[in-house]
Copies of this chain bind each other. A is one copy, B any other.
Amino acid sequence: MPNASRTRTLLENSPFFQAAGAAAMTEVLRASFTQILPRGARLFEQGDEPDFLHMLLEGSVGLQAQVEGSGSTMVELFGAGEVFLAAAVVLRLPYLATAVALTEVRVLMIPADAFREGVSRSHDLCKATTQLLARHWRLMVDQVVDVKLRTAEDRVARFLAHRVSEEAGTGNAAMPEPRAAIAARLGMTPETLSRALATLEQKGKLRRSATGALVADRTALSK
């Protein structure tokens, strides 16, 4: 399938597009364009004024926050179909984090002005934005609970279980992004992540396929 039509399918099936409705979206999309970036590229930097709202069409992007003198973490990972950093765009406030391409990515760039105008003009688009932000808020709540309450091994198990449930069918947990990024998202070092994976494998909750991909027993993982 060529890129153009795959983009359209992905777009139209995304929850955000669904909620906003085709009418409002085509308007906003008129000003948008797609871009392909290699692993390691930065979509924007912490502190920048937001010029674009992004929708990830393919690949994986990490939101990396750095703190003077204390290193950096991955605040969130986004996969294909996700629209991100609506918060900064809506508030016209500098990004709190840098967006890094963790794999090669194809990303739809929606100019911030066009988006804000769309939100102003279209009530449906505004409502869709509200739902998007509400969902994202809840994801962050989940993460806070995870980091504060669960052990490193638990967090890894839950992360894998979540990945498995996204990958409909096969009990396969894809981890296309570098270990260091996943570890940072989970609030641990790569060493700890590695050990947790080893432990889970040893407990039989996980095994490696011939290709090295992780195959998980979902029911075993969630407990």
Which residues of chain A have a CB within 8 Å of any CB of chain B? 65, 67, 70-73, 75, 86-88, 90-91, 93, 96-97, 119-120, 123, 126-127, 129-131, 133-138, 140-145, 147-150, 154, 184, 187
Q: Given A126-B127, A144-B73, A147-B187, answer yes or no on A138-B96 (Cβ-Cβ < 8 Å).
A: yes
Please report whether the interface of chain A is mostly helix, strand, loop or mixed according to DSSP.
helix
Across the interface, which residues of B come within 8 angstroms of A130, CB to CB? Answer: 86, 90, 119, 126, 129-130, 133
> Do the beta carbons of A90 and B131 come within 8 Å of each other?
yes
Instruction: Select one of B75, B131, B134, B154 contacting A145, CB under 8 A.
Output: B75
> Do the beta carbons of B148 and A96 come within 8 Å of each other?
no
Indicate how many identical chains form the complex: 2
Closest to A67 in B: B149
Closest to A123 in B: B123
Report the bound CA distance from A130 to B20 in whole Å.
14
Closest to A186 in B: B148
Q: A140-B144, A143-B144 are in contact. List 17 more A-B contacts (CB 8 A).
A: A65-B141, A67-B149, A70-B154, A73-B145, A75-B141, A75-B144, A86-B130, A87-B134, A88-B134, A90-B131, A90-B134, A91-B134, A96-B145, A123-B126, A126-B127, A140-B143, A147-B147
